[in-house]
A and B are shown apart, each in its own frame.
Chain A
């Protein structure tokens, strides 16, 4: 069966510090991978998606970037965090035509 792992579960970072969140998927090959952000009381906002290694599409211009160095690894990064980057970050995977499945998220707080 397929599983998705995200870490860390919670993170507190100062403004201006770098960020790296990692997501890995097991039990499937060549999945589509997604990064979402969920603000309190709001729906999920798609940030990035990837259909293959090195292929990244950005949905919203912002202070973040994504990379896919391996087939089942997806990384969300920032060089300098802003206060507005606080939120709940979710990674998801899917295969063509099937539902997306989510990890348990990272709660990011910027101080």
Chain B
């Protein structure tokens, strides 16, 4: 069964304190792994797509990496405006469906 598990569920950081969010997945044929950012009361906003193990993508203070079993979203020197819920999703080549994890809620305190 296709499954995505994100950890931790919640993360509190001080401004400038770097950390990583984890996304573990099992999928019958990976067509892509996606990271989204979701602010309260809003829809998810697309951040990155990763297609194969070893691939990395960067955007400002965020860097996403991919292995055959998991992805990490590294946050370097976060700022309060990085506070949000980060969602990971995998696209199954078997079903063509996007499977979402439960998300990690990040709070960055000044």
Contacts and interface: CB of A to CB of B under 8 A. Distances in A.
Given A99-B34, A99-B49, A43 B42 contact: no
A107 B101 contact: no
Interface in A75-111: 90, 92, 97, 99-105, 107
Contact of A105 (B42, B97, B101): B42
A61 interface: no
B110 interface: no
A103 B34 contact: no
Given A43-B87, A44-B87, A103 B101 contact: no
Contacts of A41: 102
> A43, A90, A104: which has the most chain B beta carbons within 10 Å?
A43
Given A41-B102, A90-B43, A105-B41, A46 B49 contact: no
Contacts of A43: 4, 87, 100-103
Interface in A37-80: 41-44, 46, 59
Contact of A46 (B43, B46, B98, B101): B98
Interface size class of chain A, counting residues whose CB lies under 8 Å from the partner chain: 10 to 19
A99 to B, nearest CB: 5
B44 interface: yes
Contact of B43 (A59, A99, A103): A103
A100 B42 CA distance: 15
B41 A107 contact: yes
Interface string B80-110: 0000000101000000011011110000000
A59 B102 CA distance: 19
Q: Which 8 pairs, one residue from A and one from B, show the smallest C-beta to C-beta distance? A: A102-B43, A43-B100, A44-B100, A43-B102, A99-B46, A104-B43, A102-B44, A105-B43
